[in-house]
Amino acid sequence: MLRTLIELKPRDVPFSVALRNTAGLVLPLGIGIATGHVTIGLGIASGALNTMFLDQPGPYRLRMQRMLLGALGAGLSGFAGSLLGANAVTMAIATLICGISGGMLVALGPNAGRAGLTCIILLLVMSADPKDFTGAASAGLLVFAGGLIEMLLALAAWPLQRYRPERSALARVYRELAAITHRPFSANRLEKPPPVTQGLLDVEQLLNGAHRARGAEMERFRVLAQIVERVRLELLAFGDAIGALPEGDARQTLLRLREYASRTLDGIGEALEHGTTAEATSGAIEGFDAALASLDGMAAYEDPLHRRTLTVVQARAQALGGQLRAAIRNAGFAGSRGEIEAEKEETRLPATLRTLSPFATLRANLHLQSVAFRHALRLGVCVCLALIGERVSGYPHGFWVPMTTAIVLKPDFAGTFSFGLLRVIGTLAGLVLTTALVHYALSNVWEQLAFLALLSVGFRILTPMNYGLGVMMLTGLIVLLLAFYGIAPGDTMLARGIATTIGCTFALVAYALWPTWEQLRPALATLIESYRAYFHSLFDGDAAGRRDARTASRSARTNAQASLDRLRGEPKPDSGLIALAESVFANANRFVRACMALEAVLQDSRERPAHTQVIAFAQRIDAALGDIADGLRHDHPAHVEGLRSCERELARTLAAVPPDDAAHAVALAIADACDRATDSVNTLAHLLDREAVAHAGRVEVG
């Protein structure tokens, strides 16, 4: 927990984004000050402040929809808060409804969750200055206008750089793959997840999501995305095989091949990023071809197993070279907007990732077993109680109490705890520093406006890096905005600090009394089920279904990893379950890497040696994974018997393929992948058996 508090994450908000968000905040306020309409400028600035964080990467259409809905929600909340703020009873009811509704939005993802929190905050802040219907409508419209300005600034580059998000995402994947390819082998490489999983998931959403861009250029990007998928498969199979070879001339040549592949991928990423051709990669791909040709004249290994491995890796290297050359050609097409001479049918988002109706998603979460629903109930009730408490006490600037409660309460313990402490620390630091600067150094209104712009840039950049630093910047922003409104910072500093501390304390106590503990087993079961679907798709010949299953498995792995991280942050985490999950991840990664090696072989060759036996083996794997997933979900042992004997029989059949047969290398590669898959599945079943025995022992001792 302490590491979470002081950790500085990498910066992921470009300076250009922070500057345009700041312009949407500062320019309306500056115009309002210059023309004597400070209140109007403040209303627009508050709307911009509450919408700027929705300016996230993604297709422009998605960005527009996200920011427009966020601005509309903020405007309606500002209107309701201004209109109902004078009546404590109606305001409490509105807070309860808004709290539950805003809390439920976490079921739709982090961006929707942030938008829901913004609506709650604006409802509370605007209630501190109640107005009649006309005044409330004007305030709501000003808040909406601020969000609209931020949206227009975020979309300003759309006509000039229509496909920049897609090109940048693909470039990032190629470069990440190049960097990973360049790294030395590690002893536990097979237990690590396949590389650039999240990057490929982001590309899939950009190119095939509901809000994807349209046009012929998108087809070129889809070709490049499919190529990088193939390149990743070949690199994994290629790299795993190299790691199994002893030192020698052949291994050194293969390592040079890997280095040339890394340079080629990096050059392709550079070409995509800048919209140019990939001519700079010509030297790297020529070196790759020369090194590949030199392998044929080298002496073979004496060990039969090493000879088999070298045969497999040569086949994988040839396939990798073909994919790299295809990527170079298509990167040039995408940069120069040339035509790709291939017909591509329109792709769609995989069924497992397709955007459902938000209402259907929310309905599916309306039960007490849903983390989102329990969080929404807790959030709505706690914010309502905090509002009632501050209204009854009559504490000055008391809206900071329910506002802080809303900000601190998260669906998980670790998030609530860290946000609570960082909120107190950041708020107090921001109050003291900003108040001192405004009181002693920034007497001129334009100096204060310039300082406001600096705080806005810092808030936008630092919040994802460390929440405490972001809160410090945000607190300074609020202090300055209230100063422009006529509320002296020095007179209210102590009251705001105390109110923030009260709100944080109340949120932490409320979570301790009404906790939501992480459910990791269902996430692990879903992960295994997704890998099962991916393995099954390798043999049905449906390329679209295979792509869908692969993408769904990435999403399931990301969700399971996030669930494990949340469990680690709980005050008394189940150490046995954490150990089981870590082992499941390691062996599931081994399994999926074997699947990817198998996919590379099956896609690259028309030969299907021992096809009937391979299908029978695949059915045994499928049944075993189904039993493992059920065991994880319902906490019982997995019964996997006879899998190794089935694999050994398949291996003997594949080994019988003559060396001079064209299918010999394919047979060896299939046998190796099936051996690795069997080992990982048997280990997963053993983990469940061992965990069940340990669990029974704990129950008996208890």
| 627-677 per-position pLDDT tens digit | 999 989 888 888 777 888 888 888 889 888 887 777 787 888 888 888 888
What is the tens place of the pLDDT at every residue in 417-446? 776 777 778 777 877 888 778 767 777 888
230 pLDDT above the threshold of 80: no
pLDDT average, residue stretch 518-539: 89
pLDDT at 211: 56
Intra-chain end-to-end CA distance of the chain, in Å? 30
pLDDT at 702: 39
pLDDT at 94: 94
Q: Which two tokens stand for residue 519?
A: 């459910």
219 pLDDT above the threshold of 90: no
pLDDT at 144: 95
Q: Which two tokens stand for residue 62?
A: 């998605």
What stretches of 187-248 show up as alpha helix (H) in DSSP? 197-208, 216-243
pLDDT at 145: 95
pLDDT grade, residue 692 (50/70/90)?
low
The CATH class, in words, for 164-336 is: mainly alpha
Between 210 and 60, the higher pLDDT residue: 60
222 pLDDT above the threshold of 90: no
pLDDT average, residue stretch 215-220: 62
Fold of 526-701: Methane Monooxygenase Hydroxylase; Chain G, domain 1 (1.20.58)
Q: Report if pTM > 0.75.
A: no
111 pLDDT above the threshold of 80: no
Domains 164-336 and 526-701 belong to one CATH topology: yes
Ramachandran category for residue 486: left, alpha or beta (phi over 0 → left; psi -120 to 50 → alpha)? left
Nearest to 262, CA basis, from 320, 330, 343, 332: 320
Percent of the chain with pLDDT over 90: 19
56 pLDDT above the threshold of 90: no
Of 151-160, 353-362, 600-609, which range is least confident? 353-362
Residue recorded with tokens 């909406």: 144
- How far apart, in whole angstroms, are the C-alpha atoms of residue 455 and residue 476? 7
367 pLDDT above the threshold of 90: no
pLDDT at 23: 94
Per domain, the residue ranges of the chain are 2-159+356-513, 164-336, 526-701
pLDDT at 604: 67
**Which H or E element spans position 682?**
helix 664-701
Nearest to 326, CA basis, from 223, 184, 212, 218: 223
* Cα 88–chain centre separation: 40
What is the tens place of the pLDDT at every residue in 533-591? 999 888 876 777 887 888 788 778 888 888 888 787 777 777 888 888 888 888 888 88
pLDDT at 5: 59
What is the tens place of the pLDDT at every residue in 470-519? 888 888 888 888 788 777 766 667 777 888 889 888 988 888 888 877 78
- How far apart, in whole angstroms, are the C-alpha atoms of residue 552 and residue 558? 10
What is the tens place of the pLDDT at every residue in 238-293? 776 676 777 777 778 888 888 888 888 888 888 877 777 777 777 888 888 888 78
